[in-house]
């Protein structure tokens, strides 16, 4: 995968093109799957707290729903673009397929910065987003979920607006809801824990144990936090964490040679996953440049922040100690950077497998919501672990047998499943 790609959508397309060649897909299959099946872009007018009206731009993209209703998060981000959402929707299709979930791929977003918005203004954005898309989403159509800078509270506002508009209770419309209001136990932990289950399986295949491994992590939000929590609980050591500093408007890396104490660090982290620099210094963490997380003498890198964080222009910084990169975020490694990493013998456990724990648990939440019967936390986690182990084994095994990278193996499995569904439905031949 050596194509230089600029945007997440171009990245997703170039990754798909490579696998389309390996699978020798016909032109119709390529034309269908290189682009979303449907996309929506709309305005959300919001009356602000100061009495003014601001117009926010919202998106929903449904990439493919041949295997089931669309599924994918809604992101709030000031740099959100339709193009990013397209790429992320496409990745959701492959992610659901590699995890063998009966779901398609979708994604949504709003161009906004929640740091600058009151909770009331965010509520209005959530309700406005639902009002614009209500006819095109639903339990059997397309099911949203939380993502970057959206939480269980945002999902509940969206659910409330949806139920008001359709006139009935529809808990299966959205996932990532608060527990007790239709949410699933363990959904919050699911993505980060799934990253670590996948890491454990990938290490096991290389005759390595999780105990004693060292890691450096980018992002200390939902995914990063639970990945760090489980990794340290299972005997791994996290040497550094990089996160965004809203005050200085740049990222910093916090490192401590004795390792990160999860509870301690969580206690000085705000709800956006930003670490308090003064308190971190008092606890003995050294503050370094934002991309110093790449340079730590760790064996594992876990990017769990945003897309395109490991690129051709910074991949050289990846320390010589690094053996494996496990993608918690979506699209954190550009295809060009991945080619350079593979040449150096660094394996990349791809996002569509590594962070599929979130959508797997979202699927469990849908099942529970639709039947209005909720499972115990241990039951959810046991089902999650079993799914992640199964999906990891399939990818690791195919990569070994075909002599391809883990990303190519994951893509081969998922694209093949989606193409079959499209063929079985008669959409393509």
Residues taking part in catalysis: 107
Site for ligand NAD in 5-44 (CB under 6 A): none
Q: 90-119 mask for ligand NAD (x: CB under 6 A)? A: ------------------------------
- Helix (H), strand (E) at residue 242: strand 237-245
Q: What SS3 state is found at 354?
A: helix
CA atoms within 13 A on the CB side of 139: 16
User: 117-133 burial string, b = 16+ CB within 10 Å, else e?
Assistant: beeebbbbbbbbbbebb
Closer by beta carbon to ligand NAD, 222 or else 405: 222
User: What's the closest the beta carbon of residue 166 comes to ligand NAD, in angstroms?
Assistant: 26
User: What's the closest the beta carbon of residue 28 comes to ligand NAD, in angstroms?
Assistant: 30
User: What's the closest the beta carbon of residue 53 comes to ligand NAD, in angstroms?
Assistant: 27
147 binds ligand NAD (CB under 6 A): yes
- The answer to whether the beta carbons of residues 88 and 107 sit under 8 Å apart is yes
Report residue 210: phi and psi, to 5°: -70, -35
- The answer to whether the beta carbons of residues 13 and 395 sit under 8 Å apart is no
- What is the separation of C-alpha 130 from the centre of its chain, rounded to a whole number of angstroms? 22
**Of 1-9, 136-144, 161-169, 240-248, which segment contacts ligand NAD by CB under 6 A?**
240-248
Q: In the structure encoding, which two tokens stand for residue 65, read together?
A: 């729903």
| Binding footprint of ligand NAD, residue count (CB under 6 A) | 26
Q: In the structure encoding, which two tokens stand for residue 338, read together?
A: 């991945």
Q: Which of 216, 232, 242, 414 binds ligand NAD (CB under 6 A)?
A: 242
Q: 355-394 mask for ligand NAD (x: CB under 6 A)? A: x--x------------------------------------
Q: Which of 105, 138, 172, 219 binds ligand NAD (CB under 6 A)?
A: 219
Site for ligand NAD in 270-299 (CB under 6 A): 273-274, 290
Helix, strand, coil fractions of the chain, as percent rounded to 5: 45, 20, 35
CA gap 339, 88 in Å, rounded: 21
Q: In the structure encoding, which two tokens stand for residue 333, read together?
A: 């490694």
Q: What is the number of other CB atoms lying within 10 angstroms of the CB of residue 411?
A: 27
Closer by beta carbon to ligand NAD, 30 or else 84: 84
Q: Which of 137, 329, 380, 384 binds ligand NAD (CB under 6 A)?
A: 329
148 binds ligand NAD (CB under 6 A): yes
Using CB atoms, what's the residue nearest to ligand NAD? 221
Q: Which of 305, 384, 395, 418 binds ligand NAD (CB under 6 A)?
A: 305
HEC string of 77-103 equals ECCCCHHHHHHHHHHHHHHHHHCCCCC
Judged by the rule CB under 6 A, the positions of this chain that interact with ligand NAD are 147-149, 191, 218-224, 242-244, 251, 273-274, 290, 304-306, 328-330, 355, 358
């Amino acid at each position: 995968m050596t194509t230089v790609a600029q945007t997440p959508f171009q990245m997703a397309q170039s990754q798909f093109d490579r696998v389309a060649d390996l699978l020798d897909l016909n032109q119709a299959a390529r034309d269908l799957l290189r682009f979303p099946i449907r996309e929506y872009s709309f305005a959300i007018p919001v009356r602000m707290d100061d009495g003014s009206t601001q117009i926010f731009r919202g998106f929903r993209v449904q990439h493919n729903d041949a295997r089931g209703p669309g599924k994918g998060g809604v992101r709030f981000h000031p740099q959100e673009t339709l193009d990013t959402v397209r790429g992320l929707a496409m990745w959701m299709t492959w992610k659901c397929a590699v995890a063998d979930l009966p779901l398609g791929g979708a994604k949504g977003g709003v161009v906004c910065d929640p740091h600058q918005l009151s909770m009331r203004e965010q509520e209005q954005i959530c309700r406005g987003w639902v009002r614009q898309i209500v006819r095109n989403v639903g339990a059997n159509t397309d099911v949203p979920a939380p993502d970057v800078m959206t939480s269980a509270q945002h999902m509940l506002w969206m659910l409330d607006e949806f139920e008001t508009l359709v006139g009935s209770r529809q808990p299966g419309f959205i996932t990532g809801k608060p527990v007790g209001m239709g949410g699933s136990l363990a959904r919050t932990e699911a993505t980060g824990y799934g990253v670590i289950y996948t890491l454990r399986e990938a290490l096991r295949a290389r005759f390595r144990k999780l105990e004693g491994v060292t890691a450096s992590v980018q992002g200390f939000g939902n995914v990063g936090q639970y990945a760090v929590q489980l990794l340290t609980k299972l005997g791994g050591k996290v040497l550094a964490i990089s996160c965004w500093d809203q005050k200085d408007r740049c990222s910093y890396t916090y490192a401590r040679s004795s390792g990160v104490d999860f509870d301690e660090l969580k206690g000085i982290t705000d709800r956006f996953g930003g670490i308090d620099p003064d308190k971190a210094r008092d606890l003995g963490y050294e503050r370094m440049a934002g991309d110093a997380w790449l340079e730590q003498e760790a064996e594992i890198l876990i990017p769990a922040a945003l897309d395109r964080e490991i690129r051709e222009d910074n991949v050289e910084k990846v320390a010589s100690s690094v053996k494996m990169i496990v993608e918690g975020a979506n699209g954190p490694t550009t295809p060009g950077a991945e080619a350079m990493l593979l040449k150096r013998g660094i394996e990349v456990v791809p996002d569509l497998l590594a962070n599929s724990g979130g959508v797997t648990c979202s699927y469990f939440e849908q099942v529970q919501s639709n039947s209005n019967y909720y499972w115990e936390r241990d039951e959810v986690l046991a089902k999650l672990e079993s799914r992640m182990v199964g999906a990891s084994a399939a990818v690791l095994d195919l990569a070994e047998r075909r002599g391809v990278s883990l990303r190519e193996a994951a893509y081969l499995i998922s694209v093949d499943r989606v193409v079959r569904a499209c063929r079985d439905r008669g959409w393509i031949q």
